[in-house]
Amino acid sequence: MRISANCSVLGLISGALAAGICAFAACSVPARAVAEELVLRGTLYEAGDFRVGERIPNCGRARTILTADLGDYGASIGAFIILNPQKLDRLSAATRLFVYSHECAHQLYGPGEERADCYAAKRGKAEGWLQPSDIDAVCRIFPHKSRSAEHPDRAARCAAIQACYASATRPTSAPSPVATRDGQTYR
């Protein structure tokens, strides 16, 4: 069961799932039991353990859960970043990092789709994993038509991302560590 709702009601899900869910393409609040199922049945990665290619994207202490049960590319539920590997594995590393960073922005700043997209675009430029030519591929995962008041349609969302990317002139966060073959990491 899904209950369409504004991100501001995310506090309805309490306890272990202190915040709620803000999915990548559709901002909705599932029943508490659905959110718990996603968290409990997924594969948990501690902060610093989740990799995208050679990169180890970080988001403070937020842990990552992979589950094919999520009906979207990504979501932010409580203190967790939830990703659907079945949907993400078909995409480029840049697009996967964009989805992770978008959900990370929800962890850091709460609701706000434009802000989350902008954070991901600026972070991608600062960290060097998002090139101008990657943005078209990122945009292809957005629905053509707006699914909610918080998520503009593809063209508007893409234009905003381009503008954020262009405006990013200096790193906005520390680069994510890159794993090396010998298991060491560097920034």
Interface residues with Zn ion (CB under 5 A) are 22, 113, 116
Would you say 29 or 116 has its CB closer to Zn ion? 116
- The CB-of-175 to Zn ion minimum distance in angstroms stands at 23
Query: 19 vs 79, 98, 110, CA distance in Å?
Result: 7, 22, 9
- Torsion angle defined by CA atoms of residues 98, 150, 87 and 62, in that order, rounded to the nearest 10 degrees: 60
- The CB-of-7 to Zn ion minimum distance in angstroms stands at 8
- The CB-of-184 to Zn ion minimum distance in angstroms stands at 33
Contact 127, 176 (CB under 8 A): yes
- The CB-of-183 to Zn ion minimum distance in angstroms stands at 33
Contact 165, 132 (CB under 8 A): yes
H or E, element range at 165: helix 154-167
Would you say 22 or 130 has its CB closer to Zn ion? 22
Would you say 110 or 177 has its CB closer to Zn ion? 110
Would you say 116 or 158 has its CB closer to Zn ion? 116
